[in-house]
Structure 1
């Protein structure tokens, strides 16, 4: 099959075609022509404002399969990812059972072979993600685990975190940890501040994140190795990571693309669509996130896609589960709220996650396999509940105008286009 991308602006700093507008021909999954001449093709993608970059990578998404398929299965996760422009997605291990065996790693890899999106399994750090006994991480690494995390269960024990950092150095592994002191966040519902006091809800203090960032950085300084913080949300945590990078530690971090879209003041209506962990924090924290993205302290933007079924969300605020779906809106929300130049934003979705995960970097060049995301950074649109690809519908962005629309992806020889572009 021949696919022609007509008059596409190329965003790929590692090639001579960067920021140039060309016709791109893809034949049987490979790029065979880049230039100004018209080419014959079986399918033509011709859209005003068409841009193309290498495929986007998401480092933080949850799937319900196995065990919780009613929230999300691997097929629906891949469909949502493709709709959001992602060609590769890291699946965190919090399934039932937990992803902690070679069989579980191989299950995800084999199930995704025919899908247009590559699903990259992360293995659990500890057995059943309970923070006590380390898993057989060498076996999981050899089976194909791209990183190690306990996902929704932040590592609490300093001894376990230290041992994990030491153990992973045997195979240059990556520890991903969400910094949260769970005793300080117990029963918390939203950011601890004036809004939580006014609403009478128990708060989640910034200190719960910051004390764990400080601890883990001290452990990293002692042991060496590679540490990635997932879902940073506070100004002080960002500053601590900035200083650690300046000191030469191998530390990276990500932030949810929606984290600066709202503040704790947005929860005045007790809408559970805004209940996320870490919570939406203050305007000062949101500004610190934007600055951390601009100066490179924050390496990666992630979807933090966390599907929850209706029964888990249509409850009183204090009883509802945390999380929103964001694979389909991650780019548009970032483009609409983060005030980041497009080239920097794309770097957070492409080059940086691949560098951190040790993945090969695709190129938009003749002879290369087509791993591409097609998008228009200026198109304005509003997500709709009735068109979401996810099995769950827990999003605060329905019917809100966003800027930046994904047109489709090309990966593994498959073209996936949105119905209207």
Structure 2
């Protein structure tokens, strides 16, 4: 298939055409020409006002729910949601049923996406059943195609397990991803601990629970680096979905010391605070919880100065039976694949180019994946988008099987128009 993009602004710091408005011709999955005006005949032409093109977006944190929880999401609806959100690649967590801890489980996810426009990269569980007790066969999982290692929704609470995982993964240069939370401090927690949780009479999840785990992990990493000197600059420890002002500062200081770390935030953490929970909307029940305005401002600053490397969706589908309950009975999580770019575009205070780097270049570097470039002769892995287009996110146009989103019926700014990958094209409604 031949595809022609007309008058698109190229957003790619790795491209010689970065910031320029050009025509792009894609022939059988390869970018064959980039010029001011291309008049070749194409099977599909995309044109419009204020179109931009970047390397295909990649989401580092997606809960697939398949296998085991297909009533919430299956791989087909997950793929549809990713396409609608402008993602050409997604990274899935291992918290399915069964847990992704065998070569067969890795193959199940990888094989599904072989002929799809979306690439799906599975992570492998670090411990059996993500319980934090016994190791999985991580080397086998790596050879089978696991792109990183994590217990996903579960924190590596055992310090010895985390340290030994760093040591075990070092020879294969694989990334360890940990969601920082001291679990003993968050039992029965429902929302951010503070004045609002007291007023609402709900058990709080303190910021200290997250910050304490980051402090512990950084101390263990210092010990690991001190006993394993290396010239490698790759991050070997990644903090997933940080949410507090102090967490940002701890990571900023650690990076200044040269520790090989990285981190991400969920896009929705930039929008809501604990004050928004007064109507007990369970679509606002997430973990980590929505915190204070000062925390949001710290996250925005961390994005701007490079402390925070990546923005993720933290896509976590939950069905009606899991959300249409009293707040303290409802499950945590919201869907985010379809709204991540728009939400970050509205609330991150980043330039378009910097935002795109946190959705394209940075996550691929951390995951040791090939860097996608918009140059002639390169494979076409592209997202076409309009950063100024207004659109309404409604329950009718949601592609995910679940509908647990606080952005339903809201007008968002910035929309994915189409994606191109593996010689295929998908144009959004």
Give TM-score, length-normalised by structure 2: 0.97
Q: How many residues align?
A: 419
Could you report, residue by residue, the CA deviation over 1:285-339 in whole angstroms, capped at 9, with x for unpaired residues?
0000000000000000000000001110000000000000000000000011111
Residue 42 of structure 1: CA displacement? 1.4
Distance in 2 separating the partners of 1:99 and 1:286: 33
Match of 2:179 in 1: 178
- 2:188 is aligned with 1:187: yes
Aligned counterpart in structure 1 of residue 271 of structure 2, from 238, 261, 264: 261
Mapped to 2, the partners of 1:273 and 1:355 lie a distance apart of 32
Structure 1: unaligned runs, 5 residues or longer: none
Report the Cα offset of residue 39 of structure 1.
2.2
Q: Deviations over 1:374-418 (max 9, x none)?
A: 000011111111111101000000111111010010011110001
- 2:286, 2:65 → 1: CA distance? 18
The corresponding residue for 1:118 is 119
Equivalent residues of 2:4, 2:25 under 8 A apart: yes
Q: Which residue of 1 aligns with 2:8?
A: 8
Task: Output the CA distance in 1 between the equivalents of 2:403 and 2:138.
Answer: 34
Deviation at 1:19, TM superposition (A): 0.9
Query: Which position in structure 2 is the counterpart of 1:205?
Result: 206
Contact 2:12 2:353 in 1 (8 A): no
Instruction: Tell me, in whole angstroms, the C-alpha distance in 1 between the residues paired with 2:65 and 2:246.
Output: 33
Aligned to 2:397: 387
Alpha-carbon distance in structure 2 between the residues aligned to 1:343 and 1:363: 14
TM (norm. structure 1) is 0.98
Indicate if the aligned counterparts of 2:190 and 2:203 stay in contact, CA closer than 8 A.
yes
- Structure 2 equivalent of residue 373 of structure 1: 383
Q: Does 1:307 align with 2:321?
A: no
User: For 1:95-136, what per-residue CA distance to the aligned partner results, in whole angstroms no more than 9, with x for missing partners?
Assistant: 000000111111111111111110000000000100001111
Give the equivalent residue in structure 2 for 1:350.
360
For residues 97 and 13 of structure 1, the distance between their equivalents in structure 2, rounded to whole angstroms, comes to 40
* C-alpha separation in 2, matches of 1:163 and 1:244: 20
Deviation at 1:346, TM superposition (A): 0.6
Partner of 1:35: 35
The alpha-carbon deviation at position 137 of structure 1 amounts to 0.5
Q: CA RMSD in A?
A: 0.8
In structure 1, the residue corresponding to 2:172 is in which secondary structure? coil
Q: Provide the residue aligned with 1:18 in structure 2.
A: 18
Gaps of 5+ in 2: 226-234
Three-state SS of the structure 2 residue aligned to 1:277 is coil
1:138-186 Cα distance to aligned partner (Å, 9 max, x none): 1111111010000111111111111111111121111100000111011
What are the within-5 Å matches in structure 2 for residues 232-381 of structure 1?
232-381=242-391
SS in 2 for 1:259: helix
Tell me if structure 1 keeps the 8 A contact 2:361–2:372.
Answer: no
3-state DSSP of counterpart to 2:383: strand
Which residue of the partner structure matches residue 402 of structure 1?
412
**Deviations 1:228-280 (CA, angstroms, capped at 9, x unpaired):** 00000000111000011011110000000110101000001000010000000
The offset of 1:69, in angstroms, is 1.1
Contact 1:325-1:394 within 8 A present in 2 as well: yes
